Amino acid sequence: MDQQTIDKLLSLSRLSLLPDDREKLLRDLSSIVGLVDFMRSIDTEGVEPLAHPLEVTQRLRPDEPDTSFDQEHYQAIAPQIRDGLYLVPRVVE
């Protein structure tokens, strides 16, 4: 773990940090990686990864159209909307 890795992770996560917080983050992430590196000592040869604790597959609903929400009600909590559209800074000049 180094500052370069931290930069990459911040960029992938769309996060930024104050300079003072970067040092602490580097220390914390290094010790977290130290903690999780304990996993290397466990023999997992031939073990299937487990993604779901009950090992059931995701159930699918029938593919039938349904109106489950009211657009106006849901958009009432949006920071900025106009005519039912979400507003963001201009992307195309």
Looking at 2, 63, 64, 74, which residue binds another protein (CB under 8 A)? 74
Residues 6+ apart with CB under 8 A from 3: 22, 26
Contacts 24+ apart (CB under 8 A), 10-15: none
Q: Closest separation between CB of residue 60 and another protein, Å?
A: 8
Torsion angle of C-alpha atoms 41, 44, 49, 53, degrees rounded to 10: -70
Looking at 4, 20, 38, 64, which residue binds another protein (CB under 8 A)? 38
How many Å apart are CA 38 and CA 44, to the nearest integer? 13
71 scored as a contact of another protein (CB under 8 A): no
Residues of the shown chain interacting with another protein in the complex, contacts defined by CB under 8 A: 5-6, 8-10, 12-17, 21, 25, 28-29, 31-40, 42, 44, 47-54, 56, 58-61, 69, 73-74, 76-80, 86, 88-91
